[in-house]
Amino acid sequence: MKNWGKSTDPMKNWPLQDDGTPVRPVYLCNESSLSFSAEVAVSMLNAYGIPVMTQYPSGGSMGKVVLGISGYGQELYVPETMLDTARDLISDDVEILEEEMYESLDSPSDR
């Protein structure tokens, strides 16, 4: 996790096939731009050595420029050879957040 929080050029670390061409990028997920979950997911994946390409679907790139966020979220793409690992990391992150949310709902609040 040496790269946690550092923005990197995805092609700099993108894996190559045996013939020297880049591994094909594949769709991982669409993350919301409203809660910064896309930025967190990209940083986490980069920290684990998984490069990520992002794309704003539909007219999302215009919303990002005008409003600062994209209402359509952000699509994340990773190298095909790293897809399973990336899915595991993203799903683990979601499970941890869900557990923390349910624990906070179960515990009495200090009022």
Q: What is the residue extent of each domain of the chain?
A: 10-105
Q: For residue 87, give the nearest of 58, 55, 44, 57 by alpha carbon.
A: 44
Whether the predicted model's global pTM rises above the 0.85 cut = no
Which tokens belong to 94? 């979601």
C-alpha to C-alpha distance for 76 and 53, rounded to whole angstroms: 6
Which tokens belong to 29? 């997920």
Is 28:86 a contact under the CB 8 Å cutoff?
yes
Give the pLDDT confidence of 12-28 residue by residue, as tens digits.
889 999 999 999 999 99
Cα dihedral 81→61→31→71 (10° resolution): -160
Give the pLDDT confidence of 44-83 residue by residue, as tens digits.
999 999 999 988 876 545 555 555 565 677 899 999 999 9
